[in-house]
């Protein structure tokens, strides 16, 4: 087993905080009798909210039966122990990089996921009712969609749905009418938001049929919570989630069109700017489907193909997280850059399955809620098991009147889907009376101008669930989201889901977007003994059998540049660290000479803006160095390179293990350090930390990444960059007036000082140094070492990808290897050192040009559809 | 019944500044067959070689062709050739048609058959909004209880008088409100405006895409390629069906209008819609010939 750096650190931190809690408990607090502590501890501030159902308590101080085991178990633990567990949980979330992006807020693009570690518990018997209701809803919606898209629209003619609910609805995609859907599954995945009213009854607040989000977060929440409360989750016998994902995966295989490769499933994402990109990558990785963006796919011969470096690979099923209207610029929204031109035609030809089907978003319009009971009786001959919260669609005269009369007690929403933003600002209790009247008049005017665009819903008093707040439990308004998957032959409901709670006690309902806090949902097993969840213990549930094995051209491109950028950053940090280290050293004999050489070297490398000697020992940094280290906008500075690394790694996030991702997360976090009071010390600390993080990333990738083509492109990028860096460093060194003065720093930057000292016992000499960093094949930092690896990569990629035509890159790399071998480096270095001639600069430049040409050739051959970068 | 036979050639040439590696197009170039016309023959000649040409009826029942070119190209030529037999339109006496309010109530409340289909055309659509301004303009032609066809005929004449035909004033995507403000545009704009007026009163109206046979100037021979795609509108009259009206020419289309298809507005039935991979710059040339071949007994 490989114990990663992050694991080590985590364990240490847990140990430390345990120690601290023990000591603080024993030192600062007198021992408290068991009962007193229990009473005073978790629930002492918990007071149920009048008029709302309380999930935890039946009456004050008495937890409901299904909560008792957890409450008891948490009582056993000290408050500090719990706090330290939560802290550990938050660390896991940060290190997993669980985020939720918020549109229009560039600073918050990586807002960390909010998770309250106290679960939301639902007993098995109660869940069985919800489960049946959710499954019924999935069947019902599917039948409605079938009638509207491929049936005769009898539901409109027979009066079960008012026609304008469909015809005036932007979610009704006319080009999709008549397209037959495999197994008649229009709605593969449904999500429902549920809330409990004061009398204990569950109600559906809204449905998600477009591309429901949150499943990945629910799974990740479970992973985190089972690491934070491992014993509690086992004792509670919470039903595991992994089986649901396994079944959903099988269903997607079953939904593949006849003749298609069953396992050729992809997950289509709008890309890293999407709010829920984290879970797209998480689900893709966990389910074993390639994560693709629209431009990765192409329609040929009415079929859909994934563009990979090996060529086009047919795709049978697209699990989409792109809204349907954006999926095909040819037949749907023409301004979409997220879709695949011709996708609608490919579905019409029956060559690909899109889940949910194009057009399925129609039925999540809140206005449908008002008509579900009638539809259910008509289509299923059953009563609707899960009632929807009372909903009035203003498109009907009677309903409109009711809504206007009862405006103050209702919530008004756009009738046609959540994608349409509401023009109405919410009316709050805090508004002054005259403001309210004014507001109300505006409201009425808006609604009456276009009544069919609005629905009103009863303002329900949400149930309160316990959440962790200031060292004990406190009630918070809660909504839960459940998930149902339909595979045609069967329907399966996730035994759990995503609970959301309001952030502070005054909020009436959890806001959907900003500042939501989520919870894991534990559905207790009905059976007395259940197999404990095997998966979340490792947190890396993965279905490894993959259908599509190709590396998409876009992914290969990102991996290549990730290799180049990480290496570029490492080199920059090594140079900075070397300069900083010497600046901090004691001023003394010999140092002045060396400082002169180093300053020149640093200037040649672009790290100092003028030939200035960094003041030794006084802790000052030059402005140029400050910019390189801390300035967001400094081109090719630390922050800028990190941004490039971040965007490249985000785009291929599904290819990295959780540990690797954690390291990248730490790299980002470490780089946020601000210059402290001791500028030099903090800068040195920063570059040390970052160099170590990069080493961990490289080590993780060397040790753990499958040596497939994806890895080859990553390593290819790194080797090209390292080769260029060695040449740049060597060129900078020989350009120093007295090269000897810069040689020790050169060896330090090239991480070859130890080797040099082992080989030579004298002060560094130029020709020895160059032999070591350029030509020594056993030195992993040397140019020769990079070229040997590049030659292997070129050969392997050529054999894999285009066996018929050996690529020209092979010839180029061979010529470079030959030149390296036959050049009289020592002779030229002696000339250079004596100042007779300066032949080396031209040679190094020529070799650099060759490496750049190699980079271009690879770019053009394998990533031809992506734009150029530098 | 008298029919007229037409031969129509519609040629579209795109010239691209760079290589296009893949192109997808959706064509609505084949005139549909319905009560007023019969498509006798239709052919598409496309260069370069297509990978796919597949026909399907679109949402409104118009024939649509999906086509793909998957070899690099710098020019795309699409030639559509049709032979169509056109029947004269049934034009009722305007004063015999029902009052416009009756039509409105019928389309709102009757959810069966044709009335339900018509109902769909009362709502705003991507290029035609519904607004009080349009209703205010229209209402002068729609006094209480006026027969619907009579009212529409009056509206048609007013639009024809108030608006100037100007090919430089608008583009294919000019919003209908702009057309109203500047009172200038081409056939597509006038049709969108007429539809906006009619829908703003709660009545159904649809957009018709097609061809118009044009006369050469007196004494001159007819030149090739001078005809063009044309557009007009259609409104609904219970128990009669849809009646075409041409605001550009202030007339009721009959034997000289050849219908390709209809939709809610232009965006439902553009003759060609395409997505290219590669060059985004293009130049477009279109030539349409509508040749009347005389009366026929076919069909």
| Res A568 pLDDT > 60 | yes
> Within this chain, do residues A296 and A428 fall inside the same structural domain, yes or no?
no
Domain with residue A406: its CATH number is 3.30.1490.270
A148 and A121 inside one domain:
yes
In 3D space, the residue among A627, A635, A836, A614 whose CA is nearest the CA of residue A745 turns out to be A614
Mean pLDDT of A181-194: 96
Q: Say if residue A473 is in the same domain as residue A435.
A: no
Cβ <8 Å between A156 and B116: yes
More confident residue, A518 or A659: A518
B66 touches chain A (CB under 8 A): yes
- Does A25 score more than 80 pLDDT? no
Distance between CA A177 and CA B59 in Å, rounded? 6
Q: Provide the residue count of chain B.
A: 299
Domain contains B299 = no
Q: In this predicted structure, what is the pLDDT of residue A516?
A: 75
Same domain, B262 and B278: no
Nearest CA in chain B to A303: B52
Contact of A704 with chain B, judged by CB distance below 8 Å, is answered with no
Highest mean pLDDT among A286-290, A414-418, A621-625: A286-290
Same domain, B130 and B218: yes
Residue B232 lies in a domain: yes
Q: Within a domain: residue B298?
A: no
**pLDDT (mean) for A672-681:** 75
Domain count, chain B: 2
A391-393 vs B184-185, strand pairing mode: unpaired
Regarding whether A240 and A173 lie in a shared domain, the answer is yes
Dist. CA A302–CA B66, nearest whole Å = 9
**pLDDT of res. A507:** 59
Residue A57 is assigned to a structural domain of this protein: yes
Burial A692-703 (b: 16+ CB within 10 A, else e): bbbebbbebbee
Rg for chain A (alpha carbons), in Å? 32
Q: What's the Cα-to-Cα distance from A471 to each of A45, A83, A166, A345, B44, rounded to whole Å?
A: 10, 7, 51, 58, 75
Q: Which of B51, B70, B120 sits opposite A167 (nearest CB)?
A: B120
Query: At A436, is the pLDDT very low, low, confident or very high (cuts 50, 70, 90)?
Result: confident
Tell me which of A430 and A729 has the higher pLDDT.
Answer: A729
Residue A689 · residue A774 · CB < 8 Å: no
What is the pLDDT averaged over residues A217-233? 92
Instruction: Note the pLDDT of residue A150.
Output: 95
Angle between helix A638-651 and helix A623-630 axes, rounded to 10 deg? 20
Which tops the pLDDT comparison, A784 or B215?
A: A784
Across the interface, do A163 and B123 touch by the CB < 8 Å criterion? no
Cβ contacts of B119 on chain A, cutoff 8 Å: 163-164, 167
Q: Is residue A538 part of a domain?
A: no
Contact B3, B85 (CB under 8 A): yes
Give the pLDDT band of residue B265 (cuts 50, 70, 90): very high
Position A590 pLDDT exceeds 70: no
Instruction: Please answer whether residues A387 and A204 qualify as being in contact, where contact means their C-beta atoms are separated by less than 8 angstroms.
Output: yes
If you write DSSP's letter for every residue of A82-126 in order, what string do you get?
HHHHHHHHHHHHHHHT-B---TT-GGGTTPBPPEEEEEEEE-HHH
Split at pLDDT 50, 70, 90, the class of B277 is confident
The single residue listed with the structure tokens 């669980």 is A98
Higher model confidence: residue B86 or residue B108?
B86
Smallest Cβ–Cβ distance between A302 and the set B52, B119, B274 belongs to: B52
Name the B residues in 121-160 with CB < 8 Å from any A CB. 123-124
Distance separating alpha carbons of residues A355 and A186, to the nearest angstrom? 7
If one counts the domains in chain A, the total is 4
Query: Is residue B48 reached through a cis peptide bond, with omega within 30 degrees of 0 on the bond before it?
Result: yes
Q: Are residues A275 and A422 in the same domain?
A: no
Banded pLDDT at A430 (limits 50, 70, 90): low
Q: Choose among A164, A168, A299: nearest Cβ to B24.
A: A299
A625 HSE (CA, 13 A, CB side): 30
- pLDDT more than 70, % of chain A: 83
Which domain covers residue B217, as residue numbers? 94-268
Tokens of A674: 């601000």
A158 CA to chain B: closest CA distance, Å? 8
Q: Is residue A29 part of a domain?
A: no
Of A801, A804, A813, nearest to A862 by C-alpha is A801
Lookup: tokens for A144:
């409605």
With a cut of 90, say whether residue A201 has pLDDT above it.
yes
Torsion A633-A639-A644-A650 (CA) sign: negative
Residues B274 and B264 in one domain: no
Whose tokens are 């679109």? That residue is B58
Nearest CA to CA, how far is B46 from chain A (Å)?
16
Distance between CA atoms of B20 and B264, rounded to whole angstroms? 32
* Range scoring the smallest mean pLDDT among A640-654, A789-803, B245-259: A789-803
Does the distance separating the beta carbons of A178 and B57 come in below 8 Å? yes
**B209 and B81 belong to one structural domain:** no
**Mean pLDDT, residues B239-261:** 94
Of A440, A458, A476, which residue constitutes the final position of a domain?
Answer: A458
Q: Which of A159, A164, A345 sits opposite B123 (nearest CB)?
A: A164
Shared domain for A669 and A727, answered yes or no, is no
Judged by CB atoms closer than 8 Å, whether chains meet at B123 and A159 is answered as no
Is residue B278 situated within a structural domain?
Answer: yes
Does the CB of B117 have a partner CB in chain A at under 8 Å?
A: no
Q: What is the pLDDT of residue A13?
A: 27
Question: B24–A330: do the CB atoms touch at under 8 Å?
Answer: yes
Residue A348 contacts B, CB cutoff 8 Å: yes
Question: Is B232 found in the same domain as B120?
Answer: yes
Put simply, whether A331 touches B (Cβ < 8 Å) is: yes
Same domain assignment for residues A866 and A761: yes
B53 inside 8 A of chain A by CB: no
More confident residue, B97 or A419: B97
* Token pair belonging to A195: 């809330």
Residue B287 lies in a domain: yes
Q: Is the pLDDT confidence value at B119 over 70?
A: yes
Contact check, Cβ <8 Å, A330/B112: no
Domain end marker among A422, A438, A458: A458
Distance of CA A859 to the CA centre of its chain: 26
> Looking at the structure, do residues A73 and A219 belong to the same domain, yes or no?
yes
Q: Is the peptide bond before A259 cis (omega within 30 degrees of 0)?
A: no
pLDDT of residue A421: 47
* Nearest-CA distance B297 → chain A (Å): 35
Question: Residues A55-88: pLDDT tens digits?
Answer: 999 888 889 999 999 999 998 888 889 999 999 9
- B241 phi and psi, to 5 degrees? 110, -150
Determine, yes or no, domain membership for A543: no
Are B15 and B55 within one domain?
yes
Provide the pLDDT for residue A648.
Answer: 86
Does a structural domain hold residue A536?
no
Query: Per the CB < 8 Å rule, is B116 touching A330?
Result: no
B123 contacts on A by Cβ (under 8 Å): 164, 167-168
The answer on B211 and B281 residing in a single domain is no
What tens digit of pLDDT does each residue of A247-287 get? Answer: 999 999 999 998 888 889 999 999 888 888 888 988 988 88
Which residues of chain A does B262 touch, with a Cβ-Cβ cutoff of 8 Å?
Answer: none
First and final C-alpha spacing in chain A: 39
Tokens of A514: 């900003």
Helix (H, G, I), strand (E, B) or coil at A720: helix
CA nearest to A733, candidates A761, A708, A705, A770: A770
CA distance A807 to A798: 6
Residue A654 falls within a domain, yes or no? no
Q: Which of A96-110, A339-353, A440-454, A598-612 has the lowest mean pLDDT?
A: A96-110
Boundary-marking domain end, from A669, A703, A737: A703
Q: Which residues of B touch A302 (CB under 8 A)?
A: 52, 54, 66, 68
Question: Which residue is it, tokens 């008002």?
Answer: A370
Residue of A348, A212, A273, A525 lying closest to B52 (CA atoms):
A348
Q: What is the pLDDT of residues A476-510, one digit of tens each?
A: 999 999 999 999 999 999 999 999 998 766 655 55
User: Shortest Cα distance from B290 to chain A (angstroms)?
Assistant: 29
Q: Are residues A370 and A413 in the same domain?
A: no
Residue of B nearest to A348 (CA): B56
How confident is the prediction for chain A on average, in pLDDT?
A: 83
Claim to verify: residue B220 and residue B171 sit in the same structural domain? yes
> Each residue of A385-395: pLDDT tens digit?
999 999 999 98
The more confident residue out of B232 and A802 is: B232
Q: What is the pLDDT of residues B65-82, one digit of tens each?
A: 999 999 889 999 999 999
**Do B19 and B48 sit in the same domain of this protein?**
yes
The average confidence (pLDDT) of chain B is 92
Model confidence over A448-463: pLDDT tens digits? 888 988 999 998 889 9
B109–A contact, CB cutoff 8 A = no
Q: Does residue A184 belong to the interface with chain B, where contact is any CB pair within 8 Å?
A: no
If one counts every other C-beta atom within 10 angstroms of the C-beta of residue A713, the result is 27
Is B81 among the domain residues? yes
Same domain? For B285 and B244 the reply is no
Residue A180 has pLDDT above 90, yes or no: yes
Q: How far apart are CA A518 and CA A115, in angstroms?
A: 5
Q: For residues A134 and B43, what is the distance between their CA atoms, to the nearest angstrom? A: 51
If asked whether residues A685 and A783 sit together in one domain, one would say: no
Share of chain A above pLDDT 90, in %: 47
Mutate to test the interface with B, among A345, A350, A396 (most CBs of B within 10 A): A345
Q: What's the N-to-C CA distance of chain B in angstroms? A: 11
The confidence score (pLDDT) of residue A418 equals: 52
For the cut 60, the answer to whether the pLDDT of residue A529 exceeds it is no
Partners of residue A334 in chain B, C-beta under 8 Å: 273, 275
Confidence of residue A425 (pLDDT cuts 50, 70, 90): low
Q: Which residues of A419-448 are buried (b: 16+ CB within 10 A; e: fewer)?
A: eeeeeeeebeeeeeeeebeebeeebeebbe
Cα–Cα distance, A619 to A586 (Å, whole number)? 11
Model confidence over A693-709: pLDDT tens digits? 999 988 888 877 777 88
Q: Chain A closest CA to B72's CA: distance in Å?
A: 14
Q: Are residues B36 and B110 in the same domain?
A: no
CB contact under 8 A, A163 and B111: yes
Task: Select from A168, A298, A348 the Cβ nearest to the Cβ of B56.
Answer: A348
Contact criterion met (CB < 8 Å) for B51 and A348: no
CATH number assigned to the domain comprising residue B17: 2.60.40.2250
Nearest-CA distance from B223 to chain A in Å? 35
**Residue A443's domain spans which residues?**
391-458
- CB contact at 8 A, A745 and A809: no
pLDDT at B109: 85
**Stated length of chain A:** 870
Beta strands in chain B (DSSP E): 4-27, 37-47, 52-57, 63-69, 73-86, 164-165, 184-185, 205-212, 229-237, 241-245, 257-263, 272-278, 282-295
Question: A514 and A630 in one domain?
Answer: no
Q: Give domain status of residue B199, yes or no.
A: yes
A326 to each of A344, A665, A792, how far by Cα in Å?
Answer: 11, 31, 42
Residues B74 and B200 in one domain: no
- Say if residue A12 is in the same domain as residue A145: yes
Contact indicator for A578, A745 with CB cutoff of 8 Å = yes
pLDDT at A866: 39
Cβ atoms of B58 and B28 within 8 Å: the answer is yes
Kindly state whether residue B106 falls inside one of the protein's structural domains.
yes
Contact residues on chain B for A329, CB-CB shorter than 8 A: 275
């Amino acid at each position: 087993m490989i114990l990663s750096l992050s694991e080590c650190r985590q364990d240490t931190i847990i140990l430390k905080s345990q120690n601290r809690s023990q000591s603080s408990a024993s030192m600062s607090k007198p021992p408290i009798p068991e009962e007193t502590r229990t009473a005073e501890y978790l629930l002492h501030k918990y007071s149920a909210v009048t008029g709302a159902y309380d999930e935890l308590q039946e009456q004050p101080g008495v937890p409901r039966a299904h909560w008792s085991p957890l409450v008891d178990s948490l009582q056993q633990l000290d408050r500090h122990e719990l706090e330290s567990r939560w802290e550990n949980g938050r660390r896991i979330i940060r290190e997993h990089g669980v985020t939720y992006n918020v549109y229009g807020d560039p600073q918050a693009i990586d807002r960390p996921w909010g998770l309250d570690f106290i679960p939301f518990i639902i007993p098995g018997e109660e869940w069985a009712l919800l489960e049946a209701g959710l499954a019924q809803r999935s069947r019902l919606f599917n039948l409605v969609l079938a009638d509207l898209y491929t049936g005769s629209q009898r539901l409109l003619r027979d009066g079960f749905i008012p026609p304008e609910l469909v015809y005036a609805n932007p979610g009704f995609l006319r080009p999709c009418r008549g397209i037959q859907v495999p197994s008649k599954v229009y709605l593969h995945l449904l999500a429902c938001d549920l809330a409990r009213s004061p009398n204990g009854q569950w109600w559906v607040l809204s449905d998600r049929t477009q591309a429901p989000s949150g499943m990945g977060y629910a799974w990740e929440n479970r992973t985190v919570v089972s690491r934070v409360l491992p014993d509690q989750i086992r004792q509670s016998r919470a039903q595991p989630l992994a089986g649901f994902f396994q079944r959903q995966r099988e269903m997607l295989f079953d939904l593949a069109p006849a003749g298609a490769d069953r396992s050729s499933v992809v997950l289509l994402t709008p890309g890293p700017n999407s709010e829920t990109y984290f879970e797209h990558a998480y689900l893709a990785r966990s389910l074993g489907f390639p994560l693709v963006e629209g431009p990765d796919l192409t329609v040929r011969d009415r079929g859909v193909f994934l563009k990979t470096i090996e060529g086009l690979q047919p795709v049978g099923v697209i699990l989409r997280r792109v809204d349907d209207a954006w999926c095909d610029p040819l037949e749907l929204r023409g301004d979409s850059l997220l879709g695949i031109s011709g996708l609608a035609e490919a579905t019409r030809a029956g060559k690909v399955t899109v889940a949910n089907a194009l057009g399925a978003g129609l039925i999540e319009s809140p206005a449908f809620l008002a008509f579900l009971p009638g539809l259910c009786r008509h289509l299923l001959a059953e009563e609707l098991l899960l009632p929807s919260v009372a909903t009035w669609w203003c498109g009907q005269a009677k309903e409109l009147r009711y809504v206007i009369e009862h405006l103050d007690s209702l919530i008004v929403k756009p009738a046609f889907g959540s994608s349409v933003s509401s023009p109405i600002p919410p009316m709050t209790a805090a508004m002054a009376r005259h403001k309210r009247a004014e507001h109300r008049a505006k409201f009425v005017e808006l609604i009456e101008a276009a009544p069919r665009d609005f629905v009103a819903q009863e303002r329900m008093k949400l149930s309160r669930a316990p959440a962790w707040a200031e060292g004990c439990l406190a009630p918070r308004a809660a909504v839960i989201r459940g998930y149902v998957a339909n595979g045609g032959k069967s329907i399966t409901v996730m035994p759990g889901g995503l609970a959301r709670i309001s952030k502070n006690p005054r909020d009436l309902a959890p806001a959907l977007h900003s500042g939501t806090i989520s919870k894991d949902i534990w559905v207790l097993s009905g059976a007395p003994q259940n197999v404990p969840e095997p998966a979340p213990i490792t947190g890396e549930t993965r279905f490894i059998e993959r259908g599509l094995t190709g590396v998409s051209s876009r992914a290969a491109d990102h991996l290549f540049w990730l290799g180049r950028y990480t290496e570029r950053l490492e080199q920059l940090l090594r140079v900075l660290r070397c300069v900083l280290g010497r600046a901090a050293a004691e001023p003394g004999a010999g140092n002045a000479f060396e400082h002169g050489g180093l300053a020149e070297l640093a200037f040649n490398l672009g790290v100092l803006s003028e030939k200035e000697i960094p003041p030794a020992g006084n802790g000052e940094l030059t402005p140029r160095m400050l910019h390189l280290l801390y300035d967001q906008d400094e081109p090719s500075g630390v922050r800028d390179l990190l941004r490039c690394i971040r965007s490249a790694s985000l785009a291929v996030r599904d290819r990295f293990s959780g540990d690797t991702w954690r390291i990248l997360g730490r790299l980002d976090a470490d780089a946020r350090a601000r210059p402290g009071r001791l500028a030099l010390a903090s800068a040195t600390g920063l570059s040390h930390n970052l160099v170590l993080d990069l080493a961990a990333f490289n080590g993780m990738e060397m040790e753990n990444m499958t040596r497939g083509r994806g890895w080859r492109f990553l390593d290819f990028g790194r080797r090209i960059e390292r080769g260029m860096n060695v040449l740049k460093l060597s060129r900078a060194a020989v350009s120093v007036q007295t090269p000897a003065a810069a040689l020790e720093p050169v060896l330090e930057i090239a991480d070859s000082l130890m080797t040099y000292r082992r080989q030579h016992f004298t002060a560094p000499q130029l020709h020895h140094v160059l032999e070591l960093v350029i030509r020594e094949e056993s030195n992993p930092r040397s140019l020769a070492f990079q070229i040997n690896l590049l030659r292997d990569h070129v050969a392997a990629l050529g054999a894999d990808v285009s066996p018929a035509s050996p690529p020209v890159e092979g010839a180029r790399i061979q010529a470079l290897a030959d030149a390296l071998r036959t050049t009289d480096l020592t002779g030229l270095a002696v000339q250079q050192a004596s100042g007779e001639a300066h032949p080396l600069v031209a040679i190094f430049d020529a070799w650099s040009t060759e490496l750049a040409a190699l980079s271009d050739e690879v770019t053009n051959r394998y990533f031809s559809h992506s734009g150029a970068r530098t | 019944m008298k029919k007229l036979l037409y031969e129509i050639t519609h040629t579209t040439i795109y010239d691209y500044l760079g290589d296009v590696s893949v192109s997808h197009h959706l064509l609505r170039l084949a005139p549909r067959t319905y009560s007023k016309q019969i498509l006798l023959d239709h052919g598409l000649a496309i260069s370069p070689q297509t990978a796919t040409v597949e026909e399907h009826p679109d949402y409104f029942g118009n024939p649509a062709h999906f086509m793909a070119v998957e070899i690099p190209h710098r020019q795309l030529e699409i030639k559509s050739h049709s032979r169509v037999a056109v029947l004269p339109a049934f034009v009722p006496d305007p004063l015999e048609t029902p009052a416009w309010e009756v039509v409105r109530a019928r389309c709102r409340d009757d959810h069966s058959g044709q009335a339900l289909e018509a109902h769909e055309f009362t709502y705003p659509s991507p290029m035609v909004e519904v607004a009080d301004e349009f209703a205010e303009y229209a209402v002068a032609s729609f006094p209480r209880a006026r027969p619907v066809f009579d009212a529409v005929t009056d509206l048609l004449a007013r639009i024809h008088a108030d608006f100037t035909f100007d090919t430089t004033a608008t583009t294919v995507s000019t919003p209908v409100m702009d057309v109203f403000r500047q009172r200038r545009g081409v056939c597509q704009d006038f049709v969108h405006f007429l539809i906006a007026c009619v829908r703003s009163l709660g009545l159904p109206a649809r957009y018709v895409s097609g061809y118009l046979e044009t006369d050469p100037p007196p004494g001159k021979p007819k030149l090739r390629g001078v005809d063009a795609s044309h557009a007009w509108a259609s409104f609904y009259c219970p128990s009669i069906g849809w009646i075409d009206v041409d605001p550009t020419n202030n007339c009721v289309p009959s034997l000289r209008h050849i219908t390709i298809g209809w939709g809610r507005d232009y965006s439902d039935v553009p003759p060609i819609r395409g997505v290219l991979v590669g060059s985004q710059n293009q130049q477009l040339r279109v030539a349409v010939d509508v040749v009347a071949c005389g009366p026929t007994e076919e069909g």
